[in-house]
């Protein structure tokens, strides 16, 4: 198939593009930079340089690619010259509008969008599923993200003449993510700067970034238009996974922080993530996309990710 991917140089894109190429697809991949183009070329894609905010230029690029499928893997959490959250919100609203408009005018018949599983209204017990409402009435610090996700998902599912598929990935971990051994989260854990807030009751649904790419491959040909949670089988509270990972990293046991203090020092967004979010069910994706998470649990995934760290001399283990 002919595939146009926006975001092929990002954390998931770097896993997905080689898989697409390996499977024999012709992959046209957009990046904003020459460095990105070199990376995409090395992965076997045909790079095009452009910006999702350039509506006309984008439409020309998508049209020229003659795609069967357009894949939206855009975020801007790695932005260095802009606020990452604000820029990601812009990418998910204005960027999504532009990319869908381009796809609708092109030869494409399917549009696949990256979303997140962890912005649903928290449930009192159990897991969220694809029918759980997004957290639109969240505290003010969280609302703009929830509303941007809602707009992006609604536009995807209702795009004209295209099958719109939304993949709500869980928390990415693995190489090239912020859980990479040399990246921000392990470094914060090693420095004792990632506390258990309140009871640490925020339930994380993780997904290995390679596995998220495998699920995306399935979504090329499987699944009715709609929303799918792409998460592992083992939702876990912060109070469960953080000490486990700290141990793997030979880091100090995580400190505890009172919720009120955390609201003041870390803000409502992090209190939501650390102490309030619900985990997500993957039953729908397993059935409709014929996908099963591997590793099925973050425990095995983190053990393997931090194996080299684990192998260091560790007198306390």
Binding site for ligand NAP (CB under 6 A): 6-11, 13, 30-33, 36, 51-53, 74-79, 91, 116, 169, 171-172, 177-178
Indicate the residue among 129 and 259 with the shorter CB distance to ligand NAP: 129
Residue closer to ligand NAP, measured from CB, 33 or 161: 33
End-to-end Cα distance, the chain:
50
**Is 212 within 8 Å of 268 (Cβ atoms)?**
no
Q: Based on CB atoms, which residue is closest to ligand NAP, 44 or 259? A: 44
Q: What is the per-residue DSSP string for 19-55?
A: HHHHTT-EEEEEESSHHHHHHHHHTT-EEEE--TT-H
CB of 185 to ligand NAP, least distance (A): 8
The answer to whether 46 touches 62, Cβ cutoff 8 Å, is no
SS3 state at 122? coil
The least distance separating ligand NAP from the CB of residue 263, rounded to whole angstroms, comes to 23
Using the minimum distance from each CB to ligand NAP, give the nearer residue, 81 or 124: 81
- Minimum distance, C-beta of residue 178 to ligand NAP, in the bound complex (Å): 3
Nearest residue to ligand NAP, by Cβ distance, number only: 10
Judged by CB, which is closer to ligand NAP: 50, or 259? 50
Contact indicator for 43, 18 with CB cutoff of 8 Å: yes
Burial (CB count <10 Å: 0-12, 13-18, 19+), residue 126: exposed
Q: Minimal CA–CA distance to 167: which of 179, 158, 156?
A: 156
Least distance to ligand NAP, CB of residue 173, Å: 8
Distance CA 11, CA 225 (A): 25
Provide the minimum distance between the beta carbon of 35 and ligand NAP in the complex, in angstroms, as a whole number. 8
């Amino acid at each position: 198939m002919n595939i146009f991917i926006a975001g092929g140089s990002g954390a998931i894109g770097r896993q997905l593009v080689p898989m697409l190429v390996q499977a024999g697809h012709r992959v046209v991949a957009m990046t904003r930079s020459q460095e990105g183009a070199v990376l995409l070329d090395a992965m076997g894609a045909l790079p095009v340089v452009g910006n999702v905010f350039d509506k006309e230029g984008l439409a020309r690029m998508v049209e020229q690619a003659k795609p069967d499928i357009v894949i939206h893997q855009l975020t801007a959490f790695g932005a260095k010259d802009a606020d990452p959250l604000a820029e990601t919100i812009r990418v998910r609203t204005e960027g999504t509008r532009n990319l869908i408009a381009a796809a609708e005018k092109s030869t494409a018949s399917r549009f696949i969008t990256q979303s997140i599983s962890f912005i649903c209204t928290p449930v009192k017990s159990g897991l969220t599923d694809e029918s759980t409402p997004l957290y639109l009435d969240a505290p003010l610090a969280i609302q703009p993200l929830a509303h941007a996700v809602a707009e992006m998902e609604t536009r995807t599912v209702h795009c004209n003449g295209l099958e719109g598929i939304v993949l709500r990935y869980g928390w990415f971990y693995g190489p090239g993510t912020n859980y990479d051994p040399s990246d921000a989260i392990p470094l914060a854990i090693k420095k004792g700067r990632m506390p258990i807030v309140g009871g640490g009751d925020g339930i994380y649904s993780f997904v290995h970034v390679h596995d998220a790419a495998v699920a995306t491959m399935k979504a090329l040909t499987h699944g009715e238009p709609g929303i799918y949670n792409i998460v592992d089988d083992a939702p876990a509270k912060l109070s469960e996974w953080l000490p486990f990972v700290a141990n793997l990293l030979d880091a100090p046991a995580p400190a505890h922080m009172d919720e009120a203090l955390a609201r003041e020092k870390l803000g409502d967004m992090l209190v939501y993530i650390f102490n309030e979010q619900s985990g997500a069910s993957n039953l729908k994706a397993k059935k409709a996309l014929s996908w099963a998470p591997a590793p099925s649990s973050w425990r095995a995934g983190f053990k393997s990710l931090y194996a080299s760290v684990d192998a260091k001399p560790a007198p306390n283990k």
